[in-house]
Chains A and B, each alone.
Chain A
Amino acid sequence: MSKPTDMVQGTLDLLILKVIALEPMHGWAIARRIRQMSGEVLQVGQGALYPALHKLEQNGWITAKWKVSDNNRRAKYYTLTRAGRKVLETEAAQWERLAAAISTIVRCV
């Protein structure tokens, strides 16, 4: 059973929020963008992606709208809401702190 908790908890949410902060995107594009931006390191399977998207939508951090996609098909585009932007800011700051702390420890030892 693959779950969104495969990565560090909450990280996927942060990544999604960050990626769609630039422009509204559909699920497949989000996964691709994350893969590309991480230099092919982070592979987000749909098993993790879609449940996370739906949860974020239920939380009111992103909204969904059906639009015509780049290959002329109907696709569900996700947009960041104002509440989502706030969450993104705090989560990003939180992540920076956490990452810095972890790498400090890792380097020292």
Chain B
Amino acid sequence: MRLIHIIRLRLRSLFLRRTVEQELEEELRYHLERETEEGADIENFQQRKEECRDMRGWNVLDNLLRDTRYAIRQLRKNPGFSLTAIVTLALGMCASVAIFAFVDAALLKPLPYQNPGRLVGVFEASLGETRNNLSYLDYRDWKKLNTVFRSLDVYQRNGFLLSTATGIEPTRGARVSDGFFRTLGVTPMLGRDFYPGEDLPGAQRTVVLSYGAWQTRYGGRRDVLGKAITLDGDPVVIIGVLPREFHFAPAGTPEFWGVVNGTGVCEKRRSCHNLDGVARLADGVTEQVALANVTSIAQQLEKQYPDSNHDRGAALTPLSEVIVGNIRPILLALLGGAGLLLLIASVNVASLLLVRAENRRKEMAVRSSLGASRGRMVSQFVTEGVVLVISGSIIGLACASWVMQLLTALVPANMMVRMPFLQGLGLHGRVLGFAGIIGLLAAMLFSVTPAFHLSLSTMREGLTEGSRGSAGNAWRRLGSKLVVVELATTMVLLACAGLLGKSLYLLLRVDLGLQPEHLVTLQVATTDAKYEKHPLAIALERELMSGIRNLPGVRSAGIANEGLPLDGNGNTCWFWVAGRPWHGEHYDAPERDVSTDYFTTLGARLLRGRFFTEGEDGTKPRVAIINRALARQYFPNEDAVGKQLSYFSEPPVLLEIVGIVEDVREGSLDEPIPPVLYLPFNQSPSSGFGLVVRTSQAEQTILPALTAAIHQIDPGIVTFGGATMGEKIHDSQSAYMHRSEAWLVGGFAGLALLLSVVGLYGVVAYSVSQRTREIGVRMALGAQPRAVYGLVLKEALWLSAAGVLIGLLCSVGAATLIRGLLFGVRSWDVSTLAAVAGVLGIAALLASYLPARRAAAVNPVEALRAE
């Protein structure tokens, strides 16, 4: 009751100010008139009013408004301080919020599926690898026999060639089994999902569109349902459109979702593994129980099909791990870096506030002696801190939103395909919440620091001693500790940036096993069924090769199917060394079918034996070339050339090894090169392949001529993915990831260096300004400028040395945490650490040299007179 009454009264004083004032006026005037009637003294009327207002005005909101106005006025009065503090804070805020938004989009935001926590990725396990593909027949058996999944489905990344009015166009696509979307718990926003059984061989072929494809290719028209289109030369009917927010990174960002219908060559062989599985765990089943069940099924199949399923186990991984597992460590490292930057920024602002509090000692002492309570003064600091944080946060958030757009725009298209979850990044609820928490912590820090300082110094001291000596000591001790923290943190960031930068440097200079200059690559594919006949495919290859070789500027050309260097390891084949005891096991290696001039065009080095010859086709004995890794792994201490491999097919084929090439980087730049088996294209031809062309002129200009030459031979051939080898290296996923890490952490480190150097400068300069009298006395007593330099620099040196040393220790720890992101350097790489420590040391010396010079230039007479 009383509380409500009080609140009503306070609100009244706040919002009905004019009425309250009028009443006060009237009340006091009435009193005055009665007094006058009695002839009593008339006391000061205005002062009475003021005192009554004070009593009424004891109102939190009212005070807050007044404090805020006062704080803003104070900050305006001191624009240098305010700008520095706000910009510093905004920087830290911007970096951490922007990175957090990425972390949120990738790691925190729930995946756009129903109950995503119950979804698992399903793989086969073999030879210690746990992310092997499933074969179609294994999948059918697992689906039939398991008792632990509510449903099990498969997907396969698979581009389609779309026939359009203007020609044939390669598109991103995927094939899935009929229940794939039901397993994920996703329903199309338009039309329908695949019916059960729609993935069986006899069914009418249908396709579901992504939202993006529906918008860009079909203008978002609803009558697209039922429309027949041609994919890979076959008629297909569009049956549905997926929701806008749907994404499924493991399959890339397909425009067309078709079905896996078990009619392909690969799908008829149990030994051909080309699918990934996704399953929803049945209610109450844990991942362990599920794994035990599928493992037992795998063992059962192994007994049943010893040839194809030897040593094929099962593996399950949470789906979220499949989707974001590989970028989680990168994002967390970046978030850590941004967090450290934020720490430095906050420490910097805190020490700025300390200096300011120090300079306002007198003001505070005066206010205190005039009757301001300590609470009122602390609340003034709090308000100032909050005003700083709010302005910093607003600028920081605006900047973060811009940085997010910039960073997403900088992600190349081929990387965005792997990270579709980054689309729709923005200042959403969780990100704003994060910013709010940071702001709150910062506000607490910024209001506690000066308030703490206030309690360190007694008020009276402030008045009597003024700005003399000892008063500054409390701050100097605290301020210098803060600077050590800043320098150490900067050291950590610099060291990480140095290590990541060196990793990138080493990565881009890693031995590729080929000469990347003047090398152009292009993918070639055709929907024409006639090329599936081997002789025609070989004829096509010969025609293409001669056509291309005749182009001006072309020195040589070659082809390889299953992917060009850096494309990834692609399909693997099974083989066995003929003549060794055999118990059904297989060796597994990526296979590349290459043309005669392939290796010479790449500039690959032959270690032993010979390259393939043009005449080696299906009529001649089968031959193979192996890379050094394969020779080292399977033929240690013996000469592999002349040995025979038993190549797993039905029936098995014997291959004679005719040569060994130096390892060519077929997969990613930062992974070890696996054993690779090269077969002559003429002995296992195909209708789609990659082209490599070595030119004697600028690489870019050859691409249009190349495409034109190919279309002259057969206009039905589709070409795509044209790039120079240099571009392929530059744009490869590993280079991109390492580059982004190095640049982002490097940026953080640069800003950190700037902030901490400014911080150190502040500490030293302040210390000099506090000791001007002391320095003056010393000089008056005969101290040389050199001694003064020493006096100032000694302090700076101690601080820097402490910062660098502590930072070194922390750097090794931090680098150990990010060792997964490093390539070719150890986390305690001495040269990097030394260089980084040197940079920081020199920067610190420069920062302290300026105030030292000012100190040495002090005029003793003026310094002594200054008080």
Interface residues of A (CB under 8 A from B): 1-3, 26-28, 31, 45-47, 50-55, 57-60, 63, 66, 69, 71, 73-76, 81-83
Contacts and interface: CB of A to CB of B under 8 A. Distances in A.
A82 B2 CA distance: 9
Contacts of A50: 27-28, 31, 48, 51-52, 55
Contacts of A74: 26, 30
B10 A75 contact: no
B31 A27 contact: yes
Contact of A54 (B2, B6, B26, B55): B55
Contacts of B55: 50-52, 54-55, 58
Interface in B567-612: none
Contacts of B52: 50-51, 53-54
Interface string B1-41: 11101100110010000000001001110111111000000
Interface residues of B, number: 28
Pick from A3, A53, A57, A82 the residue with the most CB of B within 10 Å: A57
Pick from A26, A50, A74 the residue with the most CB of B within 10 Å: A50
Contacts of A2: 43
A51 B6 contact: no
Interface in B31-66: 31-35, 43-44, 47-48, 51-52, 54-56, 58
Nearest to A49: B31
A58 B54 contact: no
Nearest to B20: A54
B2 A46 contact: no
B5 A60 contact: yes
A28 B31 contact: yes
A27 B35 CA distance: 11
Contacts of A26: 27, 30
Given A46-B43, A50-B48, A51-B51, A58 B56 contact: yes
7 contacts: A2-B43, A27-B27, A28-B30, A46-B28, A46-B48, A52-B55, A63-B5
A76 B23 CA distance: 8
B217 to A, nearest CB: 71
Contacts, number: 76
Given A58-B13, A69-B30, 14 more contacts: A26-B30, A46-B35, A50-B51, A51-B52, A51-B54, A52-B55, A58-B6, A58-B10, A58-B56, A60-B2, A60-B5, A71-B34, A73-B30, A81-B2
Contact of B31 (A46, A60, A63): A46
A102 B13 CA distance: 40
Given A28-B35, A75-B27, A47 B9 contact: no
Nearest to A43: B40
Contacts of B26: 74, 76
Given A28-B34, A50-B48, A60-B2, A76 B54 contact: no
Nearest to B50: A51
A58 B58 contact: yes
B27 A76 contact: yes
A75 B30 contact: yes
A80 to B, nearest CB: 13
A81 B32 CA distance: 27
A76 to B, nearest CB: 5
A60 B9 CA distance: 9
A66 B44 CA distance: 24
B51 A47 contact: yes
Contacts of A66: 23
A47 B47 contact: yes
Contacts of A47: 43-44, 47-48, 51
User: Lowest 6 CB-CB distances: which A-B pairs, in order?
Assistant: A54-B55, A60-B2, A55-B55, A51-B51, A51-B55, A28-B34
A3 to B, nearest CB: 8
Nearest to B54: A51
Pick from B2, B27, B52 the residue with the most CB of A within 10 Å: B27
Nearest to A83: B2
Nearest to A63: B5
A30 B54 CA distance: 21
B215 to A, nearest CB: 63
Contact of B56 (A1, A54, A76): A54
A24 to B, nearest CB: 14
B1 to A, nearest CB: 8
A88 to B, nearest CB: 14
Contacts of A53: 52
Contacts of A31: 31
Contacts of A75: 27, 30
Contacts of A52: 55
A54 B27 CA distance: 11
A86 to B, nearest CB: 10
Contacts of A1: 47
Given A45-B43, A46-B28, A47-B43, A59 B6 contact: yes
A71 B13 CA distance: 29
A60 to B, nearest CB: 4
Contacts of B28: 46, 50
Contacts of B34: 28, 71
A51 B48 CA distance: 8
Contacts of B35: 28, 46
Pick from A2, A28, A69, A73 the residue with the most CB of B within 10 Å: A28
Nearest to A48: B51
B125 to A, nearest CB: 75
A60 B6 contact: yes
Contacts of B2: 60, 81, 83
A89 B13 CA distance: 29
Nearest to A59: B6
Nearest to A2: B43
A82 B44 CA distance: 34
B33 to A, nearest CB: 8
Contacts of B10: 58
A1 B370 CA distance: 12
Pick from A3, A47, A66, A69 the residue with the most CB of B within 10 Å: A47
A63 B3 CA distance: 13
A75 B32 CA distance: 12
Nearest to B10: A58
A1 B43 CA distance: 11
